């Protein structure tokens, strides 16, 4: 059994509110949303973060980026959205399984 939280979510061992799933990708709602729409998009394969990405992952990363606008819109972010990927300690990463935050809805959050 994996000890990685998001691997366990991907395997269904820990429940999540799913927004999208296919063979390679799972999208679920963040448990502690920072915006009206706050999705987490993960590859089902464990990859720590962008620092661990290999050339074979590039198509998957492109697919995830291309999926984001559709999912953001479906979840109610009809007027734009933001993608955030935190990488490593200085990047503020808390869960070490690569994930894209998809943030949308009226903007309560601060500018970068």
Q: In this complex, which beta carbon is closest to ligand 5GP, that of residue 54 or of residue 94?
A: 94
Residue 65 within binding range of ligand 5GP, rule CB under 6 A: no
Residue 31 within binding range of ligand 5GP, rule CB under 6 A: yes
Q: In this complex, which beta carbon is closest to ligand 5GP, that of residue 56 or of residue 68?
A: 68
Residue 97 falls in the annotated catalytic set: no
Cα torsion at 22, 7, 53, 50 (round to 10°)?
A: 100
Restricting to residues 25-54, name those near Zn ion by CB under 5 A.
Answer: 46
Restricting to residues 83-102, name those near Zn ion by CB under 5 A.
Answer: 97
* 112's tokens: 């970068």
Rounded Cα–Cα distance for residues 111 and 108 (Å): 10
Rounded Cα–Cα distance for residues 57 and 21 (Å): 18
| Catalytic residue set | 99
């Amino acid at each position: 059994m994996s000890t990685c939280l998001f691997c366990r979510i991907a395997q269904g061992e820990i429940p999540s509110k799913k927004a999208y799933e296919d063979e390679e990708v799972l999208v679920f709602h963040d448990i502690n949303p920072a915006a009206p729409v706050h999705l987490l998009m993960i590859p089902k394969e464990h990859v720590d973060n962008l620092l661990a990405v290999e050339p074979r992952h590039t198509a998957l990363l492109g697919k995830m980026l291309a999926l984001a606008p559709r999912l953001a819109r479906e979840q109610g972010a009809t007027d734009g959205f933001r993608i955030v990927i935190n990488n490593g300690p200085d990047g503020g990463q808390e869960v070490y399984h690569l994930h894209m935050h998809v943030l949308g809805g009226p903007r309560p959050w601060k500018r970068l």
